[in-house]
Amino acid sequence: MDAFVLDHNFVTGLADVDQQHQSLVSLFNELSDSFLQKSGASDVVVEDIFTRLVAYARYHFSDEEALMQQVGVDPRHQGMHHQLHEQFSLQVASLWSARGSMSHPSELFIGFLTSWLGLHILGIDQDMSRQIQHIRQGQTALQAYENEAAVPHDSSAQALLRMVAKLYRMLSEQNAELARINSHLEDRVLQRTLELERANTALKRANQQLEVFSRTDGLLKIANRQYFDERLSEECGRAHRSGSPLGLLMIDVDFFKPYNDRYGHQEGDHCLQAVAQAVASVLLRSSDLVARYGGEELGVILPDTDAAGTLATAQRVCDAVYALGLPHADSRAAPVVTVSVGACTVLPRSRDADADLLACADRALYLAKDAGRNRVVVMQTPH
């Protein structure tokens, strides 16, 4: 199992940089696997992987700095970026040399590299990418640098980055301290090692939160399409094994484009957020999942739910959104914002029945819209 998974949240949009990040992550996961092998990899093998990882990191740093110089990124950002590169090279060498005195060196080293990778890519590299994009679009380096500092980013992501950065600094400081006292004060080495282990536990929690962040839609604060697809496949397999029904709702905000055109995109965002909260509020079980399927379309997975239960939930969704009372002057369905819901239930005959279920619910949604919107249509598939 990979210790670090590089998904779409870590994409910078710079092809060479993203490819190098993938290579770095592959080397890191190879090192992690060698640490965690039951029989234990030989010291020569582990040392070779580590040497290749450090060499590739230095190549990556050099290439990034050459790119920033070529594009003309603001010198302040270049200086900070270079300083972080140098800091990592010193820290990882210090940590590697001190691993012999640690009670759990593999866990500490993996924790350190995991925090650095997340912080490096989500933080300074995506910052660099946005500045480069702005410069290529015609801004000066000064404008791009100052705009990046002034524009607010997603608050939950920034809070998580600050937490990971704090843990990374803690690990870095403690690693440096451990290297200084390693050869003279064994009792202090033990004390610092215990502190590092506690910090690593906190880092694991932060990484778990990072995984939650990667599965969440940034605007609506509900599950995203990637997690929806994963859960739907899992629930189909579970329903197939247990012989229980599985319900699915596909929800579309009626006449959303005219709403955006009349009230503006900011109000359109507020509308989608309110609809998502209304849908979530009528789900009765923790196992039910609401997710953003795409644009103004939501999906709801209802495990162990028959046709009657699926219909009841779909009707609660319609009623809850109507009750919001959000004015919609350009709707041909009602004077307020409404939704159309396609509902479907299935008793899966195979574990991969998710495609049939999606097609069924999508067909029901089409019929609900065709019949005038602001309504529910239920279908049932035997597969």
Q: Where are the domains of the chain?
A: 8-214, 225-381
- Euclidean distance between CA atoms 229 and 219, whole angstroms: 19
- Euclidean distance between CA atoms 325 and 337, whole angstroms: 7
**Cβ neighbour number for residue 70 with a 10 Å cutoff:** 9
Domain 225-381: top CATH class: alpha beta
- Euclidean distance between CA atoms 116 and 170, whole angstroms: 12
Q: Which pLDDT tens digit goes with each residue over 235-290?
A: 999 999 999 999 999 999 999 999 999 999 999 999 999 999 999 999 999 999 99
Q: Which pLDDT tens digit goes with each residue over 116-160?
A: 777 788 778 888 999 999 999 999 999 999 888 776 555 444 444
- Euclidean distance between CA atoms 131 and 231, whole angstroms: 36
**Cβ neighbour number for residue 174 with a 10 Å cutoff:** 19
Strand 376-381 relative to strand 297-303, pairing? unpaired
**Cβ neighbour number for residue 272 with a 10 Å cutoff:** 22
- Euclidean distance between CA atoms 252 and 318, whole angstroms: 10
- pLDDT of 247: 96
Q: Which pLDDT tens digit goes with each residue over 71-116?
A: 999 999 999 999 989 988 888 887 787 777 666 677 777 777 777 7
How confident is residue 177, by pLDDT bands cut at 50, 70 and 90? low
Judged by phi (left if over 0) then psi (alpha if -120 to 50, else beta), residue 173 lies in alpha
The model's pTM:
0.50
3-state secondary structure of 349: coil
Q: Which of 291, 170, 285 is nearest to 225 (CA)?
A: 291
